[in-house]
Structure 1
Amino acid sequence: MPNPHADHFYIDGSWRPSSTPDRLPVVDPASEEVFGAVAAGGEADVALAVAAARRAFPAFSSTPVAERIALLTRVGDLIERRAGLFADAMVREMGVAIGFAAAAQVPFGVAHVRVAADVLRRFSFIARHGTTATVKEPIGVCALITPWNWPLYQITAKVAPAIAAGCTIVLKPSELSPFSALLFAEVMHDAGVPPGVFNLVNGTGAVVGAALSAHPDVDMVSITGSTRAGVLVAQAADPTVKRVVQELGGKSPNVFLEDADFAASVGKGVLAAFRNVGQSCSAPTRMLVPAARLAEVEALAAAAAAQIVVGDPRRPETTLGPIANGAQFERVQAMIRSGLDEGAKLVCGGLGRPASLNRGFYAKPTVFSDVDPGMRIAREEIFGPVLSVIPYRDEEDALRIANDTVYGLGAHVQSRDLDRARRFAGRIRAGQVHINGPAWDGEAAFGGYKRSGNGREYGAFGLEEYLETKSILGYGAP
C-alpha cells in the first residue's frame, strides 16, 4: 500500500525529496497499526511549491477554456480507471467501508471533476452592461488545505474548480489520510498538467498549513476542516489580505414536522447521520421530533441502528468501519460519556467497541433520546456515529432549536406538505437545506452560515470563489 512517492512532494511537474528528515506515521484504524509514513514538509518545501505555482500562473491563466476542459476530462477519466486503487487507499488510511468507498467516496470525487468541466463549458467570463464590461479573472496561486474524512472528494471539490478558473495550486492534504492524495498527484501528472500548475506538499497544519496561509505569494486559501483550524488559517492569512474560503464544522438539524412520514424517514435519518461513520461536517446529527412522537421515533431509530454492520472495512457486508484515527475515537467516547453524565436517554450503543471487536477504533452506533438542547451532545460537533433525538413543542419551538447553534452548514426538513417544508427551510439559518431526502447534487452551493465558514463550494458557486471581478469602463458598444 505505501506509495513509492511517500518520501517526496510533487513540485513543478516532478517528484522531489522533502527538505526535512521528518516522517509522519500513518495508522490503519482497523488494526491500530502503523502501515506507512509520509514526508513532513517544511517552509522550504512550501516556498519551492509556491514559487513553481507563481511561475506557472501567467501562462496557465491565459489557456483557452477548451484546454482546461480537456485537462479536467482526462483527470476524471483517470480517477475512474484507478477507482479501485483510490478505494483501497482510503479503506487503509481512514477506515471507510469498501462498499461506501466504491459507491460514494470515489464516484462523488469524480463527479466534482465532471461538474467543474460542465460548468466551465457554459460559464461566461465577460458580461457587458452598456459600455462597461465586467470580467472574471483567475485569482492566482491557491493554497488548498483538505481534511481526512473525505480525502479524494474534498481534493477534487477544490482542485477541479481552481483548474477550471485558470488558477495554479499548492495542495496540502491531511497527514492522516495522505496516500489517496499521492495517488491524485499521480493522476494529475499522467493527465498532463503543466509543470507548476498543480503542486502537493504533505505535512502538518501547524507547519505546512501555516506557511501556506501566511505566504505573500499565495492569493487565496481554501480550507475544509474544523472551525478551530479555519480560525488559525484566517489569522495567518490576515496580514497579507488574501481571500480565505472556509468550509468548517456543523451540527445540522433534521427536523421532522408533525405530518412527516416517520416510518419511512426516521431510519433514513439515522443512516444519514451515520454515513461515513458520522464523520461528515454536514451530518444531520440532531433529529428534532414532536414530543408526542418521541417513543415512536426511539423505536424506529433503534431498529435502523440495529441493521448497521460494524466491522472490518475490507469486507463487503460491512456498512460502518472504524473511526478514522485514535484521537477522534477518544473524542467520540468522551462525548458519549458526556451524554450519559448529563442524563440523556441511551436508546442504543454507548461506550466502547462493539462486543465482537477487541481492537481497532470501532465505535457503537449510538442514539440518545430526550436530549436537552443545552447538552454538549446537542451543541458540539462529535464527528462520529452519535445521534441526538431532541423533542420539541410546536413548529416555532422546532425552528428555535434548529437555529440555536453556532453552526449553520446543513439542515434537513421532513414533511408531506412541500409548501410547508419550503417555508420552514427558508427560515433555517444554514447554507444548504435538504427537503425529504433528495439526491446529492454536485452543482448545489455548499458552505455555511455563522461559524461553519465563509464562501461556497460546488458548481458555478465554487468556480466563482477562484475568480476576481474586474470592471472595465468604456469597454465599447454593447
Structure 2
Amino acid sequence: MTFWKRHEFFINGDWVDASDAKSMDVINPATEQPIGSIAMGDAKTIDAAVAAAKAAFPSFSRTTVAERKELLRSILSVYRQRRDEVAHAIQLELGAPRHLAYGAQTAVGEGHLDGFLQALGTFEFEETLLNGDLVIREPIGVCGLITPWNWPINQIALKVLPALAAGCTMVLKPSEFTPFNAMLYAEILAEAGVPKGVFNLVNGEGPEVGAALSRHPDVAMMSFTGSSRAGAAVSRDAAEGAKKVALELGGKSPNLVFADSDLSGAVKRGVRHMFNNTGQSCNAPSRMLVERSVYDEAKEIALKTAQQQQVGDPDEAGRHIGPLVNHIQFDRVQELIKAGMDEGATVLIGGLGKPDGMNEGYFVKPTIFVDVDNEMRVAREEIFGPVLCMIPFDEEDEAISIANDTEYGLAAYVQTEDQDRAMRVARQLRAGMVHINGSDIEYGTPFGGYKKSGVGREGGTFGLEEFLEVKAIARPKETA
C-alpha cells in the first residue's frame, strides 16, 4: 500500500523540513482511508517562499526567450519520464479511474507544454507602434498560484508554465486534497533545471496559506482556479495591494440540442461528458437544453446512456467513473439532488445515496433530472457531481435566452446540422468557449469565461500575456 509522508515544503530549490508544522491526512476517496499526510503551511512559510521567489526574480526575469524555451523542453522531457508517477498519485488522491488518471488527467501536462512552446515561438515581446513609440512586455514579478483538486496537473501546468515562459518567479499552493501530484511536479521542475527560488511550493488551507499569499506585499499577481466564492476571497485579499488577479472559476454550461442534430450522438455525447471525471469539471455541460419536438426521444436516449454508465474502483480497468473527491463534495451533491427532488424535477435515473453494493468511498449515483425549470437550484448552482439537468425549449431565441440566464459563462455547447445556425447561436452565447457538435478546443486556445466564471484567460499566447506587464518607451522622433 502506498503511503506518503511529506512533511516538507519546496522553497529556494530544496525540500525544507516542516515536521513541527501541523499535519493533515490525505484521504483516498475510494476507500475513505489515508494514503499519506502533508505538513500545512502558515503565513511565515509563505513569507519564506515569497522571499526566495523575490530574490530569484532579478536574474530569471533577464533570461532570454531561447533560454526559457530550452527550459520548457527540459521540463517536457522529464515530465514524460515521470508521467506515470503523477498518474498514480492522481488516481489515489483524486479517485480518478486508471483510464482517466493515466490518460487525460496527465496528458494535459504534455499538451500545455507544447502549447506554450508554440506561443513562445511566435510571441513578440517588443514592438514599435506606428507612432514610433516602443512597447515591451516584461515579466510581472513574483506570482502566487492557487490550484484546485479536480484537474490538478492541468491547472498547475496552465499557471506554472506560462509564468516560467514569461520570466516570472512563483509560489504554488496546490489543493490540500490532492497535494502529492504537485509535489512530484516540483521534483520534475528541479530535475529539469529550474533555477533555485524560481518555483516554490507550500501546502496549506486557502483561508490561511492562500490568504497570506494573496495579501503578501511582494506578490505582484495572483492566479487562482476554484470556486467563485473562493475566487472572490482571493480578489478581496489582493485588492489592498492592487495586484493583478486572474481567475478561472465555476460554470453551469448549457448544451443546446436542436431537432436537426444527430440526436443520438449529441445526447449520448452530452451525458457521457457530464459524467466524465464524476462531473467534477468546471466546463461540464450540466444543462442539456433540448428542442421540445425531440425532447421525449432525447430523454429515452439519455436514460439508456446513463444505464450503461458504470461506477467502480479507480484501480480497475474500464471506462467507469470513480468517487467524488471527499465527504464535503459528497454531502453537497446529495444536498442538491434532494433540492431538485423537493423543487419538483423528475429523477429520470439515479437520485440520493450511493450505488448499490458500494458502502465505502464517496461514490454517488449518476443522476439525470428531467422537466427541469431553469429557476431551480439544480439548474442554477454548480453541483460539481455527475448530475445532468434536461430542459425543453421551443424556439432558437428561447434556447439562447435560457442558456444565457445564468451567473456563469465558462463554456457552451451547440448541437445542430445547420452550420449557419451553429455559428449564429455560438455568437450569441455569453460564454468564453463554445463547442459545436462535439468539437474541443486545442492546446494554446484561450480557456476562460464570462461573468462569474472568471477574469482573464489561460493557455497559449493569451495565457502568457496574463503574466506580463506592458511598458511603453517614448523615444525622440527624427525631425523632417
Specify the alignment match of 2:8 in structure 1.
8
Specify the alignment match of 1:114 in structure 2.
114
Q: SS state of the match for residue 434, structure 1?
A: strand
Name the CA distance, whole Å, in 2 between partners of 1:372 and 1:381.
Answer: 15
**In the TM superposition, what is the alpha-carbon distance from 1:258 to its structure 2 partner?**
2.6
Name the CA distance, whole Å, in 2 between partners of 1:205 and 1:169.
Answer: 17
Specify the alignment match of 2:186 in structure 1.
185
Name the CA distance, whole Å, in 1 between partners of 2:254 and 2:182.
Answer: 32
**In the TM superposition, what is the alpha-carbon distance from 1:468 to its structure 2 partner?**
0.5
**In the TM superposition, what is the alpha-carbon distance from 1:24 to its structure 2 partner?**
1.3
Further displaced range: 182-191 or 350-359: 350-359
Specify the alignment match of 1:93 in structure 2.
93
Further displaced range: 434-443 or 99-108: 434-443
Q: SS state of the match for residue 281, structure 1?
A: coil
Contact 1:20 1:40 in 2 (8 A): no
Name the CA distance, whole Å, in 1 between partners of 2:476 and 2:444.
Answer: 32
Question: How big is each residue's C-alpha offset from its partner over 1:81-115, in whole Å with a ceiling of 9 and x where there is no partner?
Answer: 11211111011101011101112010012211221
Specify the alignment match of 1:144 in structure 2.
145
Contact 2:289 2:391 in 1 (8 A): yes
Q: SS state of the match for residue 70, structure 1?
A: helix
Contact 1:370 1:389 in 2 (8 A): yes
**In the TM superposition, what is the alpha-carbon distance from 1:275 to its structure 2 partner?**
1.5
Return the letter of the residue paired with 2:11: I
Name the CA distance, whole Å, in 2 between partners of 1:218 and 1:460.
Answer: 23
Specify the alignment match of 1:310 in structure 2.
311
Specify the alignment match of 1:70 in structure 2.
70
Return the letter of the residue paired with 2:18: S
Name the CA distance, whole Å, in 2 between partners of 1:109 and 1:338.
Answer: 37
Q: SS state of the match for residue 240, structure 1?
A: coil
TM-score (norm 2): 0.97
Name the CA distance, whole Å, in 2 between partners of 1:442 and 1:356.
Answer: 40
**In the TM superposition, what is the alpha-carbon distance from 1:292 to its structure 2 partner?**
2.3
Describe the shift of the 1:381–1:475 C-alpha distance in structure 2 as closer, same or farther (beyond 3 A): farther
| Paired residue total | 476
Describe the shift of the 1:3–1:193 C-alpha distance in structure 2 as closer, same or farther (beyond 3 A): farther
Q: Does 1:131 align with 2:132?
A: yes
Specify the alignment match of 1:25 in structure 2.
25
Q: Does 1:199 align with 2:200?
A: yes
Contact 1:3 1:182 in 2 (8 A): no
- After superposition, residues 421-440 of structure 1 pair within 5 angstroms as 421-440=422-441
Return the letter of the residue paired with 1:403: N
**In the TM superposition, what is the alpha-carbon distance from 1:476 to its structure 2 partner?**
6.5
Q: Does 1:473 align with 2:474?
A: yes
Question: How big is each residue's C-alpha offset from its partner over 1:234-260, in whole Å with a ceiling of 9 and x where there is no partner?
Answer: 000000000000000110000012311
Name the CA distance, whole Å, in 2 between partners of 1:475 and 1:181.
Answer: 49
Further displaced range: 182-191 or 303-312: 303-312
**In the TM superposition, what is the alpha-carbon distance from 1:80 to its structure 2 partner?**
1.5
Contact 1:312 1:318 in 2 (8 A): no
Specify the alignment match of 1:412 in structure 2.
413
TM-score (norm 1): 0.98
Q: SS state of the match for residue 433, structure 1?
A: strand
Q: SS state of the match for residue 127, structure 1?
A: strand
Q: Does 1:374 align with 2:375?
A: yes
Contact 2:7 2:19 in 1 (8 A): no
- After superposition, residues 134-173 of structure 1 pair within 5 angstroms as 134-173=135-174
Contact 2:91 2:315 in 1 (8 A): yes
Name the CA distance, whole Å, in 2 between partners of 1:171 and 1:241.
Answer: 20
Q: Does 1:352 align with 2:357?
A: no
Name the CA distance, whole Å, in 2 between partners of 1:120 and 1:318.
Answer: 36
**In the TM superposition, what is the alpha-carbon distance from 1:318 to its structure 2 partner?**
4.3
Contact 2:146 2:210 in 1 (8 A): yes
Q: CA RMSD in A?
A: 1.2
Specify the alignment match of 1:456 in structure 2.
457
Q: Does 1:323 align with 2:324?
A: yes
Contact 1:100 1:319 in 2 (8 A): no
Return the letter of the residue paired with 1:16: V
Question: How big is each residue's C-alpha offset from its partner over 1:113-137, in whole Å with a ceiling of 9 and x where there is no partner?
Answer: 2211221111110111242111111
Question: How big is each residue's C-alpha offset from its partner over 1:377-396, in whole Å with a ceiling of 9 and x where there is no partner?
Answer: 00000000000000112111
**In the TM superposition, what is the alpha-carbon distance from 1:427 to its structure 2 partner?**
0.4
Question: How big is each residue's C-alpha offset from its partner over 1:344-369, in whole Å with a ceiling of 9 and x where there is no partner?
Answer: 11111111111131111001111111
Describe the shift of the 1:220–1:19 C-alpha distance in structure 2 as closer, same or farther (beyond 3 A): farther
Further displaced range: 112-121 or 242-251: 112-121
Specify the alignment match of 1:443 in structure 2.
444
Specify the alignment match of 1:46 in structure 2.
46
Contact 2:259 2:293 in 1 (8 A): no
Further displaced range: 419-428 or 437-446: 437-446
Question: How big is each residue's C-alpha offset from its partner over 1:37-72, in whole Å with a ceiling of 9 and x where there is no partner?
Answer: 100001111000000100101110110111111111
Question: How big is each residue's C-alpha offset from its partner over 1:291-334, in whole Å with a ceiling of 9 and x where there is no partner?
Answer: 22221111111111122221100111142000111100111111
Unaligned ranges ≥5, structure 2: none
Percent identical among aligned pairs is 50
Name the CA distance, whole Å, in 1 between partners of 2:476 and 2:218.
Answer: 30
Contact 1:369 1:388 in 2 (8 A): yes
Unaligned ranges ≥5, structure 1: none
Q: SS state of the match for residue 110, structure 1?
A: helix
